[in-house]
Structure formats: C-alpha cells, structure tokens
Structure 1
Amino acid sequence: MQISAASSPGGSAPNEDCCLVSDRWALVLDGITRYPDDGCVHDVPWYAAELGRQIKQRLGSPEIGLREILEQGIGMVAWEHVATCDLSNPVTPGATVGMIRHEANQVSWLLLGDCSIAWRDREGRVAFRSDDRLARLTGTPPVESVGGVRRWPVRYVETVRNREGGYWVAAADSRAAEEALTGSIELDGLSDLLICTDGLTRLIDRYGYTWPDLFERVSEVGVDGLIELVREHGERDARFHPEAKRHDDATGVHVRF
C-alpha cells in the first residue's frame, strides 16, 4: 500500500476533521459541527483527535475486528470525559468515521456516518459505498439558525441521532459501532481506493463529478488537488444561504496497491 492523504479546514476555525495513516491502514474522522450548550468542556477537534488516537492504538491488532475497534475507541473516549461532561446531552461532540485495513488477501473497510469509500480495479471499474442514512431521512423539519449555523434544531436531532430508523455517528454510546457498515475488497486486481469525508464528496453530491472522475484527478493532482477543486467550486457556488457553510472541512486518503 502506498498512501497519500490531505486534510484542510473549511475556514479560519480549527479543522474538525482528522486523518491518520500507516502502511497497513488508514482512518478519516469528520467531527460534527458543534452545537451550543452541548454539555461538554471539550471542543470537536479534541473529540476527533482522541477518537483517532484510540482507534490508531488498536488498528495494528489484526485479531480485533473493525467494529470492535470502533466500539472500544468510543468507549475509551467517553471514559476520558464522563467525569467532566454531560454525555447524555443529545448533541454531545461526535464524529463520522471511515477506515480501511489491509488483511492478508483483502482490504476490510468500515463506515459510520456520511463518510465514503470507493475503489477501482486494474481495468478501471469503480465501486463505492457510502453511509447515506442521514441523507435518507424523511419528514425532516426546516433548518434554523443555531449558533450562527443553519441546521436542524436540537429537539429533532435528539429523535434521530443514534436512534433506530435515524442515523448513526460516533459520540458517547459505544453501541453505535454495531450499526457501522462494513465489508471487504479482494486485493486481486485492486488498483487504488479513496476514503473521503463529506466535505470532499461535495464534488459528487453537489458539483456533478463521479467517482471515476475523482480517481482520474487524484492520480494527476493528488488529494490536495481534489481539495483545491472543491474549494474552487464552493467559491463560485451561488446557492449557499448566508448562514450556510460555504466550505466544509475536507479530508481524503488515496491508497495505491
């Protein structure tokens, strides 16, 4: 595995994304934009960094499955701040997660929240997986200004975040790991893969690119080039509400085999 990665904040605020890589695994985390009055003395970058650290410590142990690694990581971070923070708060800091690990003749993957993974074989065929449970919610209320950002009200988030029929993220309840999407990819014939946070997959979701497009571009300009591209589109996009995030934190990992 040859891995290249990049992560960039969406503005002047600290980057709430996090990525960690080795020669056997890769991990991306997308911290969830903070709500006011979330009951925590820590910020979102702290949560993403701590969860990444806990997962990193376990990814080198092949006997531990990816769901179990995530479950243990969430539990350990909760233990770190349960004495100082209200972890029962419905918007306690959290993150979405995407990870891969090289295991013998395959690559295992895990997604929780709206991260995505795509892979390409040596004949150029592309497949992808996304955790789209957030996007598939129905009957959602109008967004409103909460802390200067347009988003769903807390009273609604409480009914769907880490709830059956809603969507799942890493936060304070380690049982969310049981809901992670997982799978494996055979190494035979595998060319490369991408793991991205939703700040980077805006290229697909909002700006009309396809996964084959992203693979072609990342081979030419690297992950940094993909981030520059999504920033260029964000600058020209006239559809944003004044309180919407024009640029999101964006993170990607490109793995060649």
Structure 2
Amino acid sequence: MCTAPTRPQPEAAPDGPNEDHFAVGDGWALVLDGAGRYPNESGGCIHPVTWVVARLGAHLSRHLAERPEQPLTAIARSAIEATMADHGPACDLSHPLSPGATAAIIRLRDDQVEWLVVGDCAVVIDQGQGEPTSIIDDRVDRLPGAPVVEGRVRTYSPAYVATIRNRPGGFWVLGAAPAAAEHALTGALPQRSVTQILRCTDGVSRLTERYGWGWSAVFALCEEGGPEALIRAVRSAERDDPNPRRWRGKRHDDATVVVLRMDQVYA
C-alpha cells in the first residue's frame, strides 16, 4: 500500500475559508470538518474554527503515528485533551458551542480495517460486491422534536444546539469534550474483505444524501476521474439545485475526500 497522498483535492466552499482538514500516514488516514461557529456567537473561544481543526488534526496525526497499539477512541480522547491544552485562558471550553470538528478516521492494524466516525463525516467501505457500506453518525438528524429556523440557510438555532451538543441523547463533536471519543461510532473488518475505503466530509456525501447518487457511482466516478471529479460533481449539483433551502445546512460546503485502496491511497 502506498501511504503518500497524490492529487490532494480538498476544496473550500465558494467565498469562505476551508474548515476541512485531511491527513494520511502509514496505515491510517483521517478527514475533519470544522463545527461550531454561529453568526454572532463566539462559542467562548477566541480562535477561528480553522485553528481548532488544524490543532486537532495535528494531534490526531501524531497519536496515530506514535501509538499504533492504542484503540482509536483512546487516540481521539488524547487528541481532544491536547487540543484543549493548546487554548489559553481567554477561551471558555465549557461553553457548549466551543469550536470543534466532526471526524472520520480509518487505520489498518493487525489485518483489520478499523474506523472511528463522529458527526457527519463518512467512512464508506467497498468490499468488491454489492453496494458499499457507509458509516455516518447521523444523530444530529435524528433529534426528536428538534426546532428548525429559517434564515439564509435552513438550520437549528444556536440556543437549541447548546442544549444537546456533546450531551447524551444529543450529538457529539471532537474538540472540547473528551467524552466525545467514547461516543464515536467504531468498528472493524478484516482487511482481506475490503477492496477500497472512502472517507469524506459532508460536502461530498451530500451527493448521496441530497442528490440521489449511490456510493457505487461515487466510487466509479473517483476511479474514472479522481477525487477532483467528485468535487466537480458536487459543485455542479449545488449550482443546479432548484430549491437549496429545503436542505438543513449550507448550499455550498467545504468538500474533502480521501480514498484508500488496498494497493494505494489518494486524496
């Protein structure tokens, strides 16, 4: 397996900073998607979301490289704690809207493919036959009785999110709550049963969630044109969407995808 990414293709949403992050190492890969900043809300933190995502990504990468024997949940917890320590006294990390990130991590260890998913990033596993299996933490979309407000985009109100974020019965993000690591979705499959694995932020998975694609079609386009072809497909679908306000979330979002095959990895 090649462990160096080629054709890196993260792309920011139009007219905004890129709050996604990806990293690839020897037998592991991850993508992160920044979460937490709302209009007129500081989240108790002086740092931009991009800073938090970069620090979290750096700590996750270091622990994945240096602690291959540790469970992914322990690595995620250590990375959260290290990120929290990077903040200064001006940041109130007890604030429920403190910036963080959703995550999708995979690792090859002991002939297994292991994964950890928190939030709306995705791990998608192709086993060479049938439709690939997707692992997406969709708890934020299954909140009973969640109020929705209409504005420039359709989303939950910050006041409501503050009551259910990083709490049992709500949803979780990495960044300022070490317990989020234990609430991640985790699993493993034998490496020999896996053909390829895709990790992406929700700026890419919206092809399947909004626009009717199957994951087999996503893999096929990536095989044909590389990750950049998926980004082009996303932007085209977003531009042609006749009614983007029907979706919860932004019309355009940062989009990052990393695909690992058993003989190579590219992003």
TM over 0.5: same fold?
yes
User: 2:138 maps to what in 1?
Assistant: 132
Contact residue 107 and residue 185 of structure 1 kept, 8 A: yes
**Structure 2 residue 32 is matched with structure 1 residue 26:** no
- Give the aligned residue type for 1:222: G
Q: 1:142 Cα shift? A: 2.1
Question: Cα offset for 1:15?
Answer: 0.1
Of residues 245, 250, 255, the one that matches 2:255 is 250
Q: Does 1:12 align with 2:15?
A: yes
Task: For residue 70 of structure 2, give the secondary structure of its aligned residue in structure 1.
Answer: coil
Deviations 1:35-90 (CA, angstroms, capped at 9, x unpaired): 22322110001110000000011102211111011101111111111412111222
Q: CA deviation at 1:196?
A: 1.1
Q: Does 1:221 align with 2:225?
A: yes
149, 162, 166: which is aligned to 1:158?
162
| 1:105 aligned residue (111, 126, 140) | 111
CA gap 1:187/1:156 in 2 versus in 1, 3 angstroms: same
Unpaired stretches in structure 1, ≥5 consecutive residues: none
Q: Secondary structure at the match of 2:114?
A: strand
**Aligned equivalents of 1:11 and 1:32: distance in 2?**
17
Q: State how far apart, in whole Å, the 1-side matches of 2:171 and 2:142 are.
A: 9
TM-score, length-scaled by structure 1:
0.93
Aligned with 1:57 (options 48, 62, 71) = 62
Distance 2:181 2:45 in 1: 21
Equivalent positions of 1:20-99 (< 5 A) are 20-32=23-35, 34-35=37-38, 36-60=41-65, 61-99=67-105
* Superposed CA offset, 1:153-180 (max 9, x none): 2221112111111111113111111101
8 Å contact from structure 1 (residues 32, 93) kept in 2: yes
Of 196, 199, 207, which aligns to 1:195? Answer: 199
Name the counterpart of 2:173.
169
Aligned partner of 1:77: which letter?
T
Is the contact between residue 108 and residue 182 of structure 1 (CA under 8 Å) also seen in structure 2? yes
| Alignment check: 8 A CA contact 1:39 1:89 kept | yes
Kept after mapping to 1: 8 A contact 2:63/2:75? yes
Between 1:208-217 and 1:79-88, the stretch displaced more is 79-88
CA contact (8 A) 2:113 2:190 kept: yes
Give me the whole-angstrom Cα distance separating, in 2, the residues matched to 1:244 and 1:184.
30
Tell me the secondary structure at the aligned position of residue 134 of structure 1: helix
CA distance in 1, matches of 2:131, 2:233: 23
How large is the RMSD of aligned CA atoms in angstroms? 1.9
Contact between 2:153 and 2:251, CA under 8 Å: does it hold in 1? Answer: no
Deviation at 1:149, TM superposition (A): 5.5
Decide whether the 8 Å contact of 1:117 with 1:193 is kept in 2: yes
The residue type paired with residue 205 of structure 2 is T
Preserved contact between residue 144 and residue 153 of structure 1 (Cα < 8 Å): no
Distance in 2, matches of 1:75 and 1:68, equals: 11
* CA shift in 2, pair 1:106/1:62, >3 Å: same
Q: Normalized per residue, which structure has more strand?
A: 1
Separation of aligned partners in 2, 1:200 and 1:91: 24
Q: How many residues are matched?
A: 255
Q: Match of 1:118, as an amino acid?
A: V
